[in-house]
Amino acid sequence: SVLTLNGKITKVGEKIFASNGKEVNFSSALESCEETGGTLATPMNEEENKAILDIVKQYNRYAYLGIKESETSGQFKYIHGTPLNYTRWRQYEPNGKGTEKCVEMYTDGNWNDKKCNLYRLTICEY
């Protein structure tokens, strides 16, 4: 069950966001979320973004989001394949132009495109 994660848990609408407090690369973060029956935290509106931000702030660590760059450089989509319907890019982001294929959330709730091999906080959604 989700509660065994022993991290911070926030519920918004039908979604539950939870962190195990671990910092790993994008693929490991996604894998650990999927192993527990969820996926990486994916904000689809302002309310969900705030819920994820609450966890980011508690750990004071940037976190990977469930968003990746598509085959088209500079275009991002949800990891389940649909186009983004909500974004919270920091000013002048995304700017990686194909080199930064993952997305992280800063401690102010804004997003930045980033390489996928860095260690970021794991936040899952269920």
Distance between CA 89 and CA 42 in Å, rounded? Answer: 14
CA separation for the pair 115, 20 (Å, rounded)? 22
Q: Where are the alpha helices (DSSP H) in the chain?
A: 26-35, 46-59
pLDDT digits (tens, 9 = 90+) for 63-116: 999 999 998 888 999 998 999 999 999 999 999 988 999 999 999 999 999 999
Q: For 24-38, how does the pLDDT look when each residue is reduced to its tens digit (9 = 90+)? A: 999 999 999 999 999
**pLDDT for the residue numbered 7:** 58
Q: Measured between alpha carbons, how far is 50 from 92 in angstroms, rounded to an integer?
A: 21
Is the model's pLDDT at 1 over the cut of 50? no
**pLDDT digit string, tens, across residues 42-67:** 999 999 999 999 999 999 999 999 99
Q: Provide the 3-class DSSP secondary structure of residue 55.
A: helix
Q: Which CATH class name applies to 8-125?
A: alpha beta
Question: Cα dihedral angle (11, 13, 15, 21), rounded to 10 degrees?
Answer: -20
Is the separation of the CB atoms in 122 and 19 below 8 Å? yes
pTM score, whole prediction:
0.91
Share of the chain above pLDDT 90, in %: 81
